[in-house]
Copies of this chain bind each other. A is one copy, B any other.
Amino acid sequence: MIIDCHGHYTTAPAALQEFRDAQLARLKSPALPVPAEPLISDDEIRSTIEGNQLRIARERGHDLTIFSPRASSMGHHVDDPATAVAWARVCNDLIYRVTTLFPDNFAGVAQLPQVAGQPLDASVAELERAVTELGFVGCNLNPDPAGGFWSSPPLTDEYWFPLYEKMTELDVPAMIHVSTSCNPAVHTLGAHYLNADTTTFMQLVQGRLFERFPALRFVIPHGGGAVPYHWGRYKGIATREKFPPIEENVMTNVFFDTCVYHQPGIDLLTGVISPDSILFASEMLGAVRGDNPDGGFSWDDTRRYVEAAKLADADRAKIFELNARRVYPRLDARLKAQGR
């Protein structure tokens, strides 16, 4: 089977954004009422999913998508904890409904109500709710909730430990995923996302986080940012700066997805990184839509690239399915219960 570990509900019904707009308006004008939860019918959810992500997944032969709220809308830079909590709950509840309407096709991953500079208690609580009450199998963790200003400590800092303790207890991984860039110098999709992947990886190279949290697992999306392309650089820097070997210190607990939208990129990723450390993903419908004019197929049709990569069948099966079942054990348990 084929598991796409990286999908966002980028096609959610308009009522969701109207709710968000009302939240933000109330932050400017506190006399406004607390916005009511968005009214979205099952049919609206069905049509926005069936006409988009599910249609394309079926066309491409993806069996299941690990699905989370739109990443660029998480908006962790908005400096109000109560707003963040309400927004994460509404977004996650909508994902839950998707997973309930299409239980064979989607598994939920939680948005956390992070706020730059604030403690993570609300994020820990929302993660627990999402996993134990909504059946989610992981979360998205934003290493730069300030949105392009990198004011938070590195992921190896104890600031993050309460969340890691809860992730360990619940046995769920995090995809490391930033939200929109508030920095006019840094484009969200073309710079901030990739920079975050690169920056986070290097934070992990510098630290010894997984000695402290041996069961913690991170998925670094977008093919690991710049990392596989510069694999020799990382190996060389780790040696020169006397960091532990990356394979032993980082790659035991870190996985890259396949959101790299051309064949040479996937060839490099699968040639350089162990097939035990790669999870299939497309981020469909995400940053990059539309067809490659040279190829006549969608840029984000990453299955095509992975099929064409020089991989043993057993390694391709790890990338398409087996690694995801290992990294997301709650998904594996559910699939087994479904007889899959």
Chain A residues with CB under 8 Å of chain B are: 143-144, 148-154, 183-187, 189-191, 194-195, 198-199, 201-203, 205-206, 222-223, 225-226, 228-237, 239-240, 260-262, 264-265, 267-268, 271-272, 287-290, 292-293, 299-300
30 contacts between A and B (CB under 8 A): A148-B150, A149-B149, A151-B185, A152-B185, A153-B185, A154-B185, A185-B203, A186-B202, A187-B202, A190-B233, A191-B199, A194-B198, A195-B195, A198-B198, A222-B233, A226-B226, A230-B260, A230-B261, A230-B265, A231-B265, A232-B261, A232-B288, A232-B299, A233-B288, A235-B299, A236-B261, A236-B290, A239-B293, A264-B268, A265-B268
In the assembled complex, the CB of A123 is this many whole angstroms from the nearest CB of chain B, namely 18
State the copy count for this chain.
Answer: 2
Task: Tell me if B148 and A229 are in contact (CB < 8 A).
Answer: no
In the assembled complex, the CB of A68 is this many whole angstroms from the nearest CB of chain B, namely 20
* Interchain CA distance A18-B268 in the complex, whole Å: 44
In the assembled complex, the CB of A306 is this many whole angstroms from the nearest CB of chain B, namely 14
Closest to A148 in B: B150
Interface of A is mostly: helix
Closest to A187 in B: B202
Task: Tell me if B260 and A264 are in contact (CB < 8 A).
Answer: no
Residues of B within 8 A of A150 (CB): 148-149, 183, 185-186
Residues of B within 8 A of A228 (CB): 229
* Interchain CA distance A54-B202 in the complex, whole Å: 31
Contact of A186 among B199, B260, B262 (CB under 8 A): B199
In the assembled complex, the CB of A160 is this many whole angstroms from the nearest CB of chain B, namely 12
* Interchain CA distance A152-B309 in the complex, whole Å: 41
Given the known interface contacts A153-B184, A189-B237, A288-B236, the answer about A194 and B230 at a Cβ–Cβ threshold of 8 Å is: yes
Closest to A149 in B: B149
Q: Which 9 pairs of residues, A with B, have the shortest CB-CB distance?
A: A232-B262, A232-B261, A236-B288, A226-B226, A229-B229, A190-B202, A236-B299, A195-B195, A191-B202
Task: Tell me if A191 and B198 are in contact (CB < 8 A).
Answer: yes
Residues of B within 8 A of A293 (CB): 239
* Interchain CA distance A151-B267 in the complex, whole Å: 36
